[in-house]
Amino acid sequence: MSHAVILAHPNPRSFNAAMASAYVEDLKAMGQEVILRDLYALRFDPCLKASEIPGPSAFTPEPDVLAERALLAKAEVFVFVYPFWFNAPPAILKGYVDRVFSMGFGYEPDVGGTRPGLSGRRLLSFSSSGAPDAWVRSTGALANLQTVFDHHLAAVCGMSVLDHIHFGAIVADITPEAVGTCLDQVRATAREHFATPR
């Protein structure tokens, strides 16, 4: 199975980067195919261009978008790894979705609207926040984000949502033991969904 892991955090030593690495390493150990797209390391431009907006005029994805689509074409599972900033994904991830998962990849034009372009694919998310997990859940912040980001994207593109694992109270002075426990959960999630029964 092929996985595209999309990391959206500017610090290569962040907890989010560690989550992405743990997921990638575990999947590779299971013999799965994995590509990692570190959006900040790639200096991905999240700004949607006027020429990339579907409409009556010519619709022309930029070369960087076409390159990403070519890399993601065989992915059966899309994995987003990101922090909550103001209870939403970082702008670079939202821009990546706006540009890469738009018309011609995530969906196609159809009579009366659009038709999904990624039917049968799956979406898995790992996120973190500085706010305590209980607060993120009790205020509805996590549920609201899942509605407007995970479930909406999946519905438009024809994907199914596997899971959204969130870690709250991730702060600069988190203990190595706590980080290790969280990363064990990331690995366990990978094995739960993708380990081949023996």
CATH number at residue 175: 3.40.50.360
Per-residue pLDDT tens over the stretch 75-93:
999 999 999 999 899 999 9
Query: Residue 25's domain spans which residues?
Result: 2-194
pLDDT at position 35: 98
Question: Do 123 and 161 contact (CB within 8 A), yes or no?
Answer: yes
Per-residue pLDDT tens over the stretch 36-55:
999 999 999 999 998 898 87
pLDDT at position 65: 97
For the chain, the domain total comes to 1
Residue type, 126: F
Residue type, 180: G
pLDDT < 50: residue spans in the chain: 198
CA 12 – CA 169 distance, rounded (Å): 19
pLDDT at position 53: 87
